[in-house]
Structure 1
Amino acid sequence: MSKTSGNHRPPPPPDDAPPQGGKGGKGPDMAQVLVTMAEETYRFIRADDGRTYGVPKDGPNIAVPLGSKGEGGVRAKLATSLWRRSGQVASGAALSDCVNVLEGEAGEKDPEPVFLRMGRLHDPELGECVVVDMGTETGQAIVVTCDGWRTEAKSPVIFRRSSLVHPLVEPVHGGSLNTLRALVNLSEEDYRLAIGWVVAAFFLDIPHPILFVQGEQGTAKSTLVRTLLSLCDPQPAADRETPAGSREWAIFARASWAFSFDNLTEIPDWFSNSLCKGVTGDSVLQRALHSDEDIVVFSFQRVMAITTIGIKHALAGDLVDRMLLVEPEVLDSRRPESEIRAAREAALPEALGAILDLVCGTLAHLPNVQIENLPRMADFARVLAALDAHTGWSTLATYRERIVAMGASLIEGDVFAQSLYRLAHRPNPDGPPPGPWEGSTADLLAELHKICVQGGMAVTELPKDVRVAGQKVTEVAPSLRKLGVDVRRRKSGSKRFVSVSKITS
């Protein structure tokens, strides 16, 4: 055997190989060659978040990041292409010079929308359409309109991807949820609410409530969430732990459209705030690496789920406002994970087809939806109302009930909030129920003291300071409003007043 037979040598350069010049005027240097190759292969764009990408001229409509040094970026693809065409190894300096030029070109372009998994498109005849990246190497997409859905070989909009974007199954027209329903251990009300959450996940630019899956050990909470995510954004790392900080949170959140946090027992204050902003839309600013001035902006609005046996501390009211509670039922008998996975994979094609049909029906009814007394998550409520109009379900009514239940859980054990609730519902033995109560914060504390004494509640847990009581009113007001009690603070001249009343409609 030859001594050189095991060496991996590049093939000899073909006749049309790029010149290896750059010295002595023999031809273009390597950076110029790379720029020419890139311009032949890609068109360059600036996304609406300011990031720059190359989109293949002949290939899937998938944005390839310019600045990335990973294997999925333009830099790595150009280096590989140069090697295959000429046997040359691109230097780091040449690649950096090339990418600098390309980023400059892209930065001069008008912004274009770049989507992650879920996109949108306006059709002049059909109106707003939903476009779904199927996650395949060939770039297939599903286009959903109010009249139906279809699979297209190439997406009509630009998507970006991360390593967490995995392929969707091929959906089946006329599919059914029946087979998948047998794998979901939720009551019928909770099941329909969870399906409503999945349908809403196809809609961009609306806040999506955090699916809060709470149940005892052994109720297959994680399996339930994986099943639901497989209908909208399947991925290998759907179950995540609490991130270490805001930067890690932002990087993870940008990487996938939908994800879950598994078996949480605590939610730190910073993370509670981040979850709230992740629902309504968050932007995290970080200093760019190796730079003293450049700022990297991570912007996102995501679909999230949390599974828990129970959170050890009280949840913040603004987080509870953004939650959708479902409670899995206890399993009479357990099945092997491999068996459940096989059953889920078999059921998914028809189930995804059925979900897409529900999205079509929701799109058709959404423009005509009218709701009185919209809840905090108003856009999600409108999606549920449109889904109900299409299916005959009552998911919106169930959602309103859950809002009340979550509000009740918030004031459980809170003597101040409970006494305010009793103040709004105080009886009048001598006539009709009294109207709203109003007085100063000091008057309020005196009234709540009486209510605690009469009801056998711990008076010592009431605030002793007027200023603290005023702050506490602001904290508990959103939770009480869910329970039909309106608590407001107002200022008249130099005086401050508090009003407490029942909400009658």
Structure 2
Amino acid sequence: MDRSLIIGLDRIDEDTRIEEHQVWKDFAGDLPKILGGALTILSKAIDLYPQVKLDTLPRMADFAKWGYAIAEVLGYGGDSFIEAYKANQQYANEEALNEHPVATAIRVLMAQKPNWHGTVTELFTKLQGLAFNERIDTHQKAWPSAPNYLSRRLNEIKSNLNDIGIEYDIRPTGQAKEITIERKERGISNTVNIDHIDDTDETDDIIPF
């Protein structure tokens, strides 16, 4: 998800729908202008690209630099592109967290406390109880079926949790693994969206790079 752009598309109204063959016919007619415009902008962006210096590099750094250069050429401003890109990445991170049941349970656990410490087995038991209370679906594939699978599920969302200020550390101690979870303030919302985890078919288009 953090290598993707999420774009929400509106449903096409009945009075504006057209058949597929007409879509391709119109596209073929517009293609010379589209291609010519794209190449013109790209040629200007190529000249500007070496001068682009970002204070911090987000994920997909080269994509961000090209986006900055292209936005400058188009007149939107490179800084506006970076702001929009970071906002989209944050939205993507929220989507990833909201779709993962373990992430939801961890956020509920850490919503009212700065840290939690115990064994992985104790955490599994704790999360099972929270899942029951918050009506989180534990029958889906992403939910661990036993404590020994919990570490794997946590690793799937480690970077996503870090982005909202939740960090954890797992250390083997004798026959058990102990885990410490800490919540750190990073100016990012840690609101838990329980209602988002459902079986609806409404999804955004995800464009991977």
Q: Deviations over 1:78-97 (max 9, x none)?
A: xxxxxxxxxxxxxxxxxxxx
Q: Which residue of 2 aligns with 1:410?
A: 96
Amino acid across the alignment from 1:445: F
For the aligned residues, what is the CA RMSD? 3.4
Q: Give the 3 Å change call, closer, same or farther, for CA 422–369 of structure 1 in structure 2.
A: farther
- Whether the 8 Å CA contact 1:412–1:418 is kept in 2: the answer is yes
- The alignment status of 1:445 with 2:134, answered yes or no, reads no
Give ranges in structure 2 of 5+ residues lacking alignment. Answer: 188-209
Give the Å deviation of 1:366: 2.7
Q: Secondary structure of 2:90's match?
A: helix
- The alignment status of 1:457 with 2:103, answered yes or no, reads no
Q: Which of 4, 9, 12 pairs up with 1:331? A: 12
Q: Which of 186, 189, 192 pairs up with 1:504? A: 186
- Richer in helix (by share): 2
Distance 2:49 2:40 in 1: 14
Aligned positions of 1:344-363 closer than 5 A: 344-363=27-46
Give the Å deviation of 1:468: 1.3
Aligned positions of 1:131-280 closer than 5 A: none
Give the Å deviation of 1:384: 1.7
Distance 1:398 1:463 in 2: 35
Q: Secondary structure of 2:30's match?
A: helix
Distance 2:137 2:39 in 1: 55
Q: Secondary structure of 2:167's match?
A: strand
Q: Deviations over 1:60-106 (max 9, x none)?
A: xxxxxxxxxxxxxxxxxxxxxxxxxxxxxxxxxxxxxxxxxxxxxxx
- Richer in strand (by share): 1
Aligned positions of 1:34-53 closer than 5 A: none
Q: Secondary structure of 2:157's match?
A: helix
- Whether the 8 Å CA contact 1:436–1:502 is kept in 2: the answer is no
- The alignment status of 1:487 with 2:167, answered yes or no, reads yes
- Whether the 8 Å CA contact 2:171–2:178 is kept in 1: the answer is yes
Q: Which of 50, 53, 56 pairs up with 1:372? A: 56
Amino acid across the alignment from 1:398: A
Q: Deviations over 1:131-157 (max 9, x none)?
A: xxxxxxxxxxxxxxxxxxxxxxxxxxx
Q: Which of 478, 492, 504 pairs up with 2:159? A: 478
Q: Secondary structure of 1:491's match?
A: strand
- Whether the 8 Å CA contact 2:45–2:69 is kept in 1: the answer is yes
Give ranges in structure 1 of 5+ residues lacking alignment. Answer: 1-319, 428-433
Distance 1:345 1:373 in 2: 38
Q: TM-score, normalised on structure 2?
A: 0.63
Q: Give the 3 Å change call, closer, same or farther, for CA 449–353 of structure 1 in structure 2.
A: same
Amino acid across the alignment from 2:53: V
Q: Deviations over 1:317-343 (max 9, x none)?
A: xxx343333343322312344443343
Q: Deviations over 1:248-281 (max 9, x none)?
A: xxxxxxxxxxxxxxxxxxxxxxxxxxxxxxxxxx
Q: Percent identity?
A: 18
Distance 1:331 1:325 in 2: 19
- Whether the 8 Å CA contact 2:158–2:167 is kept in 1: the answer is yes
- Whether the 8 Å CA contact 1:410–1:479 is kept in 2: the answer is yes
